[in-house]
């Protein structure tokens, strides 16, 4: 494979790096370097969310620290699931030179015209009923400036639509892509927790993306 290709899998709200264990194990066995960081107050981090992460940037700090520590010239493929899509967008905004591609896996994907909270506010029912973490950060994200074309917008993006998702419905996933077109759209016939319900298919999908964009 030559230089080992590096993938960073970013979990969604109320989850942790553990949610990727099936996918991460298979990708490592295939020869990739894989990181599955716990975001602040998530996974094995015992801190309370409101204490550890008063802002969305604080919540994203473990991912940002990982990218900041990469040697010069190293680039990763970021994969964000669900709310993790906004973490990936923030990381791409701050470290575009370190991101070979950003993959949104049935994830919230912000655009460049509206503030980062926009995609959460458009799905009020989901935010209020399922995503206590995302609902906490709506107010903070609502006062942040939109992501820029020179930062986040300079990174190649792939959206993976999960067609049987009842959390972030297929129609809403496609609406985000229509509103802000990406380099490529892929589909998996899976529910919202695709990394657990269709891990083999997801591994094949991610492998194709990594080989194409790195």
Residues designated as active site: 82, 165, 192
DSSP conformation class of 96: G
Sign of CA dihedral 99, 53, 33, 189: negative
Which of 91, 88, 86 shows the shortest CA–CA distance to 116?
A: 86
Alpha helices, DSSP H, located in the chain: 21-29, 49-52, 56-68, 84-94, 118-121, 124-129, 132-142, 170-179, 194-197, 199-213
Q: How far apart are CA 150 and CA 94, in angstroms?
A: 10
Strand pairing report for 157-162 and 99-105: parallel
What is the three-class DSSP state of 192?
coil
């Amino acid at each position: 494979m030559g230089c080992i290709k590096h993938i960073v899998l970013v979990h969604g709200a109320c989850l942790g790096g553990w949610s990727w264990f099936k996918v991460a194990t298979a990708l490592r066995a295939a020869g990739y370097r894989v990181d599955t960081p716990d975001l602040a107050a998530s996974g094995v981090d015992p801190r309370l969310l409101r204490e550890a992460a008063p802002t969305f940037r604080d919540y994203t700090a473990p991912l940002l620290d990982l990218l900041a520590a990469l040697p010069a010239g190293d680039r990763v493929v970021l994969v964000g699931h669900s709310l993790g899509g906004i973490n990936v967008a923030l990381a791409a905004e701050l470290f575009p030179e370190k991101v070979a591609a950003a993959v949104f896996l049935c994830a919230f994907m912000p655009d460049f015209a509206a503030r980062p909270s926009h995609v959460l506010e458009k799905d009020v029912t989901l935010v209020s009923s399922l995503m206590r973490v995302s609902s906490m950060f709506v107010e903070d994200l609502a006062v942040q400036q939109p992501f820029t074309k020179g930062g986040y917008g300079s990174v190649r993006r792939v959206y993976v639509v999960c067609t049987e998702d009842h959390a972030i419905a297929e129609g809403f996933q496609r609406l985000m892509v229509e509103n802000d077109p990406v380099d490529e759209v892929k589909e998996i016939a899976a529910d919202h927790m695709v990394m657990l319900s269709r891990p083999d298919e997801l591994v094949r999908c991610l492998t194709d993306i990594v080989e194409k964009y790195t």
